[in-house]
Structure 1
C-alpha cells in the first residue's frame, strides 16, 4: 500500500468521521498538518497490518490509524503514547570517552560530567551515554525488541557497562489522558529472560497530557 493511498484513507476519515473516536478526538485536539495533508511520523508494517503514527499539535502523544492493506480499509483508530526506549549508562567517576570504550555499538547521545544540559539551567552531575537504535514512533513491544536485539550484538560490553557504570534500560511513555485510563506496557517471558541475560534492569517513567474527551 502506498503512502498516497494511506493519506487518502486518513483524509477521508478525518472529513467524514465515520468512526466515533475520530469525532471525539477532533473536538479536543488537532493532528499536525504538512502541505495540506496530515503529517505522518512513521508507518509500521506487520504482515498486512499497518499502523500510521500522526503527531498531535502541541502534544507528545500520537493519533494512530490501523489499516488492513488487504481489505484497503481502516480497522481502528486510537491515541498512542510517544515512547522513548534506550540503554543508558552513567557514571560519576568514568568520563564520556571511557564509557564509550566499553562498547562498539553506535552511541546516540553522550555527555561529560559538568556539561550544561540542553535546558541551559543545570549541568550534568555524571557522565553518560545513550544507545537508542530507532527514535521513530512505534508500539512498546516493537521498540523494546529492537533495542534488545541491538544490545545483544555486544553482550559483553553491555554487561560491563551495567557493572562498571549505572547501565539500564530507560522507558519514557507520554500518554494522552483522554479518559483518565492510560493502561501500561507488558513484559513477556522472553523480554524478562533477555533482560536477565544482559544483566539489565528496566526503569519506567509515565507522563500524561492533553484534553479529556467531552463524551
Structure 2
C-alpha cells in the first residue's frame, strides 16, 4: 500500500505542481500518458535511507522526470534523469556472429555476421557484431548501469577476456544528456579496475536532447 501512496503523491505533483522547478520542467516538457495516467518508467524504493525515487517517461524524449519523496510521502526534490544505454559489444572481420556468440556464452544477444544483408536491403555488413545488453531501462545513472553490466560480464570473465583476444570488444555507452541538466561523468577507481580486469575499454557517445527550461 505504501508504494501506491508514493506513486499517487508523485503523480499529484505532476498534475498540480507545488515546486517551482516542477513547473519549469513542465512548461517545456510533456509527460507521456499511459492508461490515462503519467507513465512511470521505474520505481526505486531504496534510492537512499530516507528517499524514494519515481521516474516518469517524457513524451518523445530519451530522458526522465525524477521525483524524490521522503518516507513520509512528502515531495523532496524534482529533477531530470538523463537516459543511459550501456551494452557489451564485440566486432570482428574474421568471426561470424555464431562464433562470437559461442565465445560470449550469454543469452539475449543480438547482432549480425559479416556478409549478411543490412536491414535496408541495399548492402551487406562488412564485419560481424554481437551486442549484449542486460539492462533495458535507460532510467539508471550511468555508473549504476555500468555496475550492473560489469557484474553480469564478471560471471564468465574468462569468456570475456578470450573474446577481447579474438575480437574488438568494449563497453558502449549512449548518454542522452538533457540540455539543462548536469553533463558530468565520473568513474571511480574501482569501476576502472573492474574494466581493466576484463580487458575492456569504454566508448561513450553523448547526445544533447530536450528543450531548455526558461
| TM-score normalized by the length of structure 1 | 0.90
Distance 1:152 1:65 in 2: 33
Paired residues, number: 211
* CA 74–168 in structure 1, closer or farther in 2 if over 3 Å, else same: same
Q: Residues of 1 paired with 2:185 and 2:174: CA distance?
A: 11
SS at match of 1:30: coil
Q: Which runs of 5+ in 1 are unaligned?
A: none
Deviations 1:68-97 (A, max 9, x none): 3x2222222111111011110011111000
Alpha-carbon deviations, 1:123-156, whole Å to 9, x = none?
A: 4321111111111121112111100100100111
The CA distance in 2 between the partners of 1:77 and 1:37, in whole Å, is 18
Residue aligning to 1:153: 155
Contact 1:44–1:138 (CA under 8 A) maintained in structure 2: no
Q: For the residues of structure 1 that align with 2:8 and 2:34, how far apart are their CA atoms?
A: 14
Which residue number in structure 1 is paired with residue 107 of structure 2? Answer: 106
Deviation at 1:171, TM superposition (A): 0.7
2:160 and 2:123 mapped to 1: Cα distance?
28
> How far apart are residue 32 of structure 1 and its match?
0.3
Instruction: Give per-residue Cα distances to partners, 1:9-41, cap 9 Å, x unaligned.
Output: 122212331111110011111010111211111
Instruction: Give the equivalent residue in structure 2 for 1:54.
Output: 56
Q: For the aligned residues, what is the CA RMSD? A: 1.9
Question: Is residue 213 of structure 2 the alignment partner of residue 213 of structure 1?
Answer: yes
| Alpha carbons 1:102, 1:160 under 8 Å: kept | yes
Q: Which runs of 5+ in 2 are unaligned?
A: none
